[in-house]
Chain A
């Protein structure tokens, strides 16, 4: 955590960023950005891309929630409605959530946190972004040309045989983007194994690194199975290779097995990095070590491994054998355990901490609460008997949105805020940021809590029309969605504002531990003037605060 020199004795000269060379002003041309191999610039390229896709996916959601304010199908045609929820799912899952933290925060922070000059394969990293963009372009084309109506889950035989929408283009787009995921994960694993600074043993690594590593394992082992699944759907559509065709003795459920073999671990790709962010934020704003560091670290691995053992819980009512259903149900209960370990440890970390409610901490605390609710409802649906009733209802929709939005997105926003000064050299306006966090929290709950009730009462998901007695809850949900949407616009606005008018940030404005805070904000291109040597354990806040009390530098 400390550099070779004792931070108590040296001050990091805080020259204004303009007078100091950093990764942002090292070249202003478009070429220097589009052909960069600097992991920090690539992180920002990803930031812009995923923000774009987030707004696109959000637009689709807006139309959906507007239409669902009334029981009739009145805003859009049913076919369009189907295309909208498919677009929302495809964009949010593949082009926003899966890249979000790994590609933005992971790319930016992994080399910094391990004390390296860059990732193991910088050019591969750039290729990763281009691959992501090309895949995105294919999918955008499919959307604009007329859309897909299969749902983001592309179930056969509808997707492979009967749908006459742009399945191929979308499948190709996702297939290509999958490589982006694989290359990023590969890069992270090699970097974390081979490029740690001297003295940085595994148990001195930040918990964010543990999470990213576990996420990368899932990316590398799971994504290829999605690739082959989409390829087989494409081959069936294009060449009549009927792997899922019952007329040849094929099984449409095999599609579901292969699809969910990836897509279940994928949801852990989406949540693990957020958990890592929370594990960084909570110690900083409690000014103490996280409780049970090793348990939190190992639980990340446990989640990564267990996540591959539970996919059949998406097939409980699809025609899977009862025996397999029971096996997957039991395994699904087990996968909750490491997540629970994290929640318990975060909570215990708060105990006797010196807690401050800065914006990142608001997001982190919101995460813990909302993720817990989403996770617990996961246990409800892991029970076969319950799932028979709530499968494909709004109960499921709410369950995963609590985790994906209440969990992953809030973790993402918390991380963006926490590391914003490091990435940009600027501070965001704290007042507006806290207001936004609260607005998002309120809007989120108003949007999705009614959906638990709707699902429990029996409203199916992906339905354009619904019985009139469900309208009140739907209106509540849509009202919440408008607040949530507004809440998301605030950070977009003030973060951009802060780039021009925000207060300049020092190298360590939050007085946090971690190598990334030992270098100026924004960092120079090569990250560290001299490769740091790590002498202390992780999260040594006692020492950090002790030194600061004695008048040392942050």
Chain B
């Protein structure tokens, strides 16, 4: 009985936290924090995702293997991003034709 109750309580609590974080992120976006806008919104999204994973998806109570699988997927995303950006952030491609200078939108025959 108490097990039943506590699970529901956890879910509802997590839900309320998620809604609060949503309100926070929308509010933060209304202020100009420069580059921090990106960091803040990403941080809040990450916290939301972690909370969903831990409690809605039961990672908190899962076997070590499941935790390893989750950690590995995240690591693989890091690999994809890091090595790709190692190219993009060391390449000067704004000076290439087709960059941010006047690019005309595609015509309808495309």
Contact = CB atoms under 8 A, between A and B. Distances in A.
Interface stretch (B1-9, B13-21, B85-93): B85-93
B106 A240 contact: yes
A309 interface: yes
Interface string B58-84: 000000010000001100100110011
Nearest to B100: A249
The interface residues of chain A, by DSSP majority, are classed as helix
B103 A249 contact: yes
A323 interface: yes
7 contacts: A240-B106, A242-B106, A245-B106, A247-B106, A248-B103, A309-B79, A328-B83
Interface residues of B, number: 23
Interface string A283-313: 0000000000000000000000000110110
Interface in A215-268: 221, 225, 240, 242, 245-249, 251, 253-254, 257, 261
A320 B91 contact: yes
Given A246-B96, A309-B83, 11 more contacts: A193-B65, A221-B73, A246-B97, A246-B98, A249-B99, A251-B88, A261-B80, A321-B86, A321-B87, A324-B86, A328-B83
Given A247-B104, A249-B99, A249-B103, A221 B84 contact: no
A324 B104 contact: no
Interface residues of A, number: 28
Contacts of A248: 103, 106
Contact of B76 (A221, A245, A247, A320): A221
A346 B106 CA distance: 58
A327 interface: yes
A225 B87 contact: no
Contacts, number: 58
A193 B68 CA distance: 13
B83 A312 contact: yes
Contacts of A312: 83, 87
Interface string B20-43: 000000000000000000000000
B86 A240 contact: no
Contact of A327 (B65, B73, B86): B86
Contacts of B96: 246
Given A321-B87, A324-B83, A240 B98 contact: no
Contacts of A320: 87, 91
Nearest to A193: B65
Interface in B94-110: 96-100, 103-104, 106, 110
A378 B98 CA distance: 35
B103 A251 contact: no
Nearest to B97: A246
Contacts of A253: 87
A251 B76 contact: no
